[in-house]
Structure 1
Amino acid sequence: MAIPKKGSRLITMDGTVYRWRVRRKPTYCQGNSWGPMTFAVELADASGRVLLVSLPCSRPDAWWGERTMALRPVLVAAFIRTALRHGWTPRQAGNAFELALTDEDLTELMNGQPPAYSVPFMRR
Protein backbone atom coordinates (compact mmCIF):
# COMPACT_ATOMS: atom_id res chain seq x y z
CA MET A 1 0.00 0.00 0.00
CA ALA A 2 1.43 3.38 -0.94
CA ILE A 3 0.40 6.87 0.04
CA PRO A 4 -0.66 9.13 -2.86
CA LYS A 5 1.90 11.86 -3.47
CA LYS A 6 -0.76 14.47 -4.11
CA GLY A 7 -1.71 16.12 -0.84
CA SER A 8 1.14 14.56 1.13
CA ARG A 9 3.91 16.34 2.98
CA LEU A 10 7.57 15.45 3.44
CA ILE A 11 9.36 15.41 6.77
CA THR A 12 13.06 14.67 7.33
CA MET A 13 14.20 13.03 10.55
CA ASP A 14 17.71 11.85 11.29
CA GLY A 15 18.60 11.94 7.58
CA THR A 16 15.58 9.87 6.50
CA VAL A 17 12.79 11.44 4.45
CA TYR A 18 9.22 10.33 5.22
CA ARG A 19 5.96 11.17 3.46
CA TRP A 20 2.84 11.70 5.57
CA ARG A 21 -0.76 12.38 4.64
CA VAL A 22 -4.15 12.86 6.21
CA ARG A 23 -7.08 11.56 4.19
CA ARG A 24 -8.54 14.40 2.10
CA LYS A 25 -12.14 13.91 3.20
CA PRO A 26 -13.39 12.23 6.35
CA THR A 27 -15.00 8.82 6.18
CA TYR A 28 -18.65 8.70 7.26
CA CYS A 29 -17.61 7.47 10.72
CA GLN A 30 -14.94 10.16 11.06
CA GLY A 31 -17.40 12.84 9.93
CA ASN A 32 -19.79 11.80 12.69
CA SER A 33 -16.92 11.75 15.22
CA TRP A 34 -17.38 8.00 15.71
CA GLY A 35 -13.85 7.26 14.54
CA PRO A 36 -10.49 8.77 15.44
CA MET A 37 -8.39 11.12 13.38
CA THR A 38 -5.88 9.04 11.43
CA PHE A 39 -2.96 9.65 9.11
CA ALA A 40 -0.41 7.53 7.26
CA VAL A 41 3.39 7.70 7.05
CA GLU A 42 5.85 5.93 4.73
CA LEU A 43 9.38 6.32 3.43
CA ALA A 44 9.49 8.90 0.65
CA ASP A 45 12.12 7.16 -1.48
CA ALA A 46 11.43 3.44 -1.01
CA SER A 47 8.60 1.01 -0.54
CA GLY A 48 7.97 -0.78 2.72
CA ARG A 49 5.57 -0.88 5.64
CA VAL A 50 3.17 1.99 6.05
CA LEU A 51 2.56 3.46 9.51
CA LEU A 52 -1.09 4.17 10.38
CA VAL A 53 -1.47 6.50 13.36
CA SER A 54 -4.78 6.92 15.23
CA LEU A 55 -5.21 9.92 17.52
CA PRO A 56 -7.65 10.13 20.46
CA CYS A 57 -9.64 12.99 18.90
CA SER A 58 -11.81 13.80 15.90
CA ARG A 59 -10.77 15.43 12.67
CA PRO A 60 -11.06 19.23 12.55
CA ASP A 61 -13.56 18.89 9.68
CA ALA A 62 -15.88 16.50 11.56
CA TRP A 63 -19.55 17.37 11.19
CA TRP A 64 -20.25 17.42 14.93
CA GLY A 65 -18.55 19.59 17.52
CA GLU A 66 -16.20 17.08 19.10
CA ARG A 67 -12.72 17.83 20.42
CA THR A 68 -10.06 18.14 17.74
CA MET A 69 -6.42 19.10 17.47
CA ALA A 70 -4.17 20.47 14.76
CA LEU A 71 -1.69 17.98 13.34
CA ARG A 72 1.65 19.79 13.12
CA PRO A 73 4.94 18.46 11.70
CA VAL A 74 6.56 18.46 15.16
CA LEU A 75 3.83 16.06 16.34
CA VAL A 76 4.23 13.88 13.25
CA ALA A 77 7.96 13.62 14.00
CA ALA A 78 7.22 12.60 17.59
CA PHE A 79 4.74 9.97 16.40
CA ILE A 80 7.29 8.54 13.95
CA ARG A 81 9.90 8.28 16.72
CA THR A 82 7.34 6.55 18.95
CA ALA A 83 6.47 4.07 16.20
CA LEU A 84 10.16 3.31 15.57
CA ARG A 85 10.62 2.62 19.31
CA HIS A 86 7.59 0.31 19.23
CA GLY A 87 9.01 -1.79 16.39
CA TRP A 88 7.97 -0.14 13.13
CA THR A 89 10.51 -1.04 10.46
CA PRO A 90 9.66 1.17 7.47
CA ARG A 91 12.02 -0.57 5.00
CA GLN A 92 10.61 -4.02 5.72
CA ALA A 93 7.78 -5.28 3.50
CA GLY A 94 4.56 -6.29 5.20
CA ASN A 95 1.20 -5.17 6.47
CA ALA A 96 0.67 -1.69 7.81
CA PHE A 97 1.97 -0.98 11.31
CA GLU A 98 -0.82 0.49 13.45
CA LEU A 99 -0.09 2.91 16.27
CA ALA A 100 -3.07 3.95 18.40
CA LEU A 101 -2.21 6.82 20.74
CA THR A 102 -4.04 7.72 23.95
CA ASP A 103 -4.36 11.03 25.77
CA GLU A 104 -1.59 9.88 28.13
CA ASP A 105 0.72 9.15 25.18
CA LEU A 106 0.11 12.63 23.78
CA THR A 107 0.80 14.24 27.16
CA GLU A 108 4.08 12.32 27.40
CA LEU A 109 5.09 13.29 23.84
CA MET A 110 4.33 16.96 24.59
CA ASN A 111 6.73 17.07 27.56
CA GLY A 112 4.08 16.64 30.23
CA GLN A 113 1.65 19.25 28.91
CA PRO A 114 -1.85 18.01 28.08
CA PRO A 115 -2.89 18.22 24.42
CA ALA A 116 -4.54 21.47 23.37
CA TYR A 117 -7.87 20.25 22.07
CA SER A 118 -10.41 22.60 20.60
CA VAL A 119 -14.11 22.21 19.99
CA PRO A 120 -15.13 23.62 16.62
CA PHE A 121 -18.32 25.54 15.99
CA MET A 122 -21.13 23.09 15.19
CA ARG A 123 -22.18 23.15 11.56
CA ARG A 124 -25.83 22.87 10.61
Structure 2
Amino acid sequence: MSDIAVIDGVAYRWHIHREPQWSTNDGAKGLCIAVEPQENPQKILLMEYPFPPPNRHQQRPKVSKSDVAARIKEAMAVGWDPESRGKPFTYIIEK
Protein backbone atom coordinates (compact mmCIF):
# COMPACT_ATOMS: atom_id res chain seq x y z
CA MET A 1 0.00 0.00 0.00
CA SER A 2 1.40 3.40 -0.90
CA ASP A 3 0.55 6.97 -0.04
CA ILE A 4 1.03 10.28 -1.85
CA ALA A 5 2.94 13.42 -0.88
CA VAL A 6 2.64 16.52 -3.08
CA ILE A 7 5.67 18.82 -3.17
CA ASP A 8 5.76 21.91 -5.37
CA GLY A 9 2.88 20.51 -7.43
CA VAL A 10 4.56 17.13 -8.05
CA ALA A 11 3.03 13.95 -6.58
CA TYR A 12 5.40 11.44 -4.98
CA ARG A 13 4.33 7.90 -4.15
CA TRP A 14 5.78 6.44 -0.93
CA HIS A 15 5.51 3.22 1.05
CA ILE A 16 7.20 1.34 3.87
CA HIS A 17 10.18 -0.42 2.30
CA ARG A 18 11.51 -2.05 5.47
CA GLU A 19 10.28 -2.31 9.05
CA PRO A 20 12.77 -1.68 11.90
CA GLN A 21 14.75 -4.85 12.55
CA TRP A 22 17.63 -6.17 14.61
CA SER A 23 20.08 -8.66 13.18
CA THR A 24 23.14 -10.21 14.81
CA ASN A 25 24.90 -10.01 11.43
CA ASP A 26 23.99 -6.48 10.31
CA GLY A 27 23.08 -4.80 13.60
CA ALA A 28 20.07 -2.53 13.93
CA LYS A 29 18.26 -1.12 10.92
CA GLY A 30 15.52 1.44 11.30
CA LEU A 31 12.35 2.05 9.35
CA CYS A 32 12.97 2.66 5.64
CA ILE A 33 10.54 4.44 3.31
CA ALA A 34 10.81 4.26 -0.49
CA VAL A 35 9.76 7.31 -2.52
CA GLU A 36 9.40 7.90 -6.25
CA PRO A 37 7.55 10.37 -8.47
CA GLN A 38 4.04 9.15 -9.25
CA GLU A 39 4.51 9.95 -12.93
CA ASN A 40 7.64 8.91 -14.83
CA PRO A 41 9.51 7.37 -11.87
CA GLN A 42 13.27 7.34 -12.37
CA LYS A 43 15.53 7.35 -9.30
CA ILE A 44 14.12 5.97 -6.05
CA LEU A 45 14.70 7.71 -2.74
CA LEU A 46 15.24 5.49 0.31
CA MET A 47 14.69 7.39 3.56
CA GLU A 48 16.26 5.50 6.46
CA TYR A 49 15.14 6.43 9.96
CA PRO A 50 17.28 5.58 13.00
CA PHE A 51 16.60 2.36 14.89
CA PRO A 52 14.26 3.16 17.79
CA PRO A 53 15.62 2.84 21.33
CA PRO A 54 14.94 -0.48 23.08
CA ASN A 55 11.49 -0.67 24.56
CA ARG A 56 9.44 -3.41 26.17
CA HIS A 57 6.55 -2.66 23.81
CA GLN A 58 8.46 -2.04 20.60
CA GLN A 59 6.32 -0.54 17.83
CA ARG A 60 7.04 0.88 14.42
CA PRO A 61 7.80 4.62 14.66
CA LYS A 62 4.84 6.77 13.69
CA VAL A 63 5.44 8.67 10.46
CA SER A 64 2.98 11.33 9.35
CA LYS A 65 2.31 12.45 5.79
CA SER A 66 3.63 15.92 6.64
CA ASP A 67 6.85 14.41 8.07
CA VAL A 68 7.39 12.36 4.91
CA ALA A 69 6.86 15.46 2.74
CA ALA A 70 9.34 17.46 4.85
CA ARG A 71 11.92 14.65 4.63
CA ILE A 72 11.50 14.44 0.84
CA LYS A 73 12.26 18.17 0.61
CA GLU A 74 15.34 17.66 2.81
CA ALA A 75 16.54 14.82 0.58
CA MET A 76 16.17 17.03 -2.49
CA ALA A 77 18.17 19.77 -0.76
CA VAL A 78 21.07 17.36 -0.14
CA GLY A 79 21.16 15.88 -3.62
CA TRP A 80 18.27 13.58 -4.53
CA ASP A 81 17.21 14.35 -8.09
CA PRO A 82 14.02 12.41 -8.80
CA GLU A 83 14.44 12.96 -12.55
CA SER A 84 17.89 11.38 -12.75
CA ARG A 85 18.55 7.69 -13.35
CA GLY A 86 20.69 5.22 -11.49
CA LYS A 87 20.95 3.52 -8.13
CA PRO A 88 18.53 4.49 -5.37
CA PHE A 89 19.51 7.58 -3.38
CA THR A 90 19.73 6.82 0.35
CA TYR A 91 18.94 9.64 2.76
CA ILE A 92 19.85 8.86 6.37
CA ILE A 93 17.58 10.72 8.79
CA GLU A 94 19.27 11.89 11.96
CA LYS A 95 16.49 11.76 14.57
Q: What range is the shorter-chain TM-score in?
A: 0.7 to 0.9
Greater gyration radius? 1
Between Structure 1 and Structure 2, the one with more helix by share is 1
TM-score, length-scaled by structure 1: 0.63
Equivalent pairs, count: 89
Would you say the 8 A contact 2:31–2:61 is kept in 1?
Answer: no
TM-score, length-scaled by structure 2: 0.80
- Compared with structure 1, are the counterparts of its residues 57 and 34 closer, same or farther at alpha carbon in structure 2 (3 Å cutoff)? closer
Give the structure 2 partner of residue 102 of structure 1: 94
Give the structure 2 partner of residue 30 of structure 1: 21
Unaligned segments of structure 2, at least 5 residues: none
Q: Which has the higher contact order (CA 8 A, sep 6+)?
A: 2
Structure 2 Cα separation of the partners of residues 44 and 31 of structure 1? 31
Would you say the 8 A contact 1:57–1:67 is kept in 2?
Answer: no
Unaligned segments of structure 1, at least 5 residues: 1-6, 59-63, 104-124
Structure 2 Cα separation of the partners of residues 102 and 74 of structure 1? 17
Kindly report the root-mean-square deviation, in angstroms, between the aligned alpha carbons of the 2 structures.
2.3
How far the C-alpha of 1:66 sits from its partner, in A, is: 4.1
Between Structure 1 and Structure 2, the one with more strand by share is 2
Moved over 2 A (4+): 31-34, 64-69
